[in-house]
Structure 1
Amino acid sequence: MKEITASMAGTVLQVLVSEGEDISEGQVVVILESMKMEIPIESGLVGKIINVKVDIGDFVNEDDVLLVLE
């Protein structure tokens, strides 16, 4: 399985994709808020999302898994 992880610690502001959705490389999939800045998390992978591991308002640490792809 392939995973998309957080590049830094922050609070999840938006989840822009859903389970079952196909995503492409470079697509913004999650927006984090850290130190009053919005940080877009881009997919470095191509695939179908099989599990969204975070919800809006969740706090994540660097390298926490956000999405799982098949």
Structure 2
Amino acid sequence: MTGYARVSTDGQTLDSQIELLRTTGCERIFSETASGAKTERRELRKCIAALKPSDVLVVARLDR
């Protein structure tokens, strides 16, 4: 499984999302800090590009 975590500001932490993704069984985790107002998501793009047809993508929060 592959995981993706994102927070909006530098004042927020990815720790709880990453912990959840690890306990879910994610072997690869892509994470980034990017404002919700911006459309550029470099790590999300890398994450999607790395997925194979049989892979499962897990996000810790649906609003991410």
TM-score normalized by the length of structure 2: 0.27
Bigger share in strand = 1
TM-score (norm 1): 0.26
Higher percent of residues as helix: 2
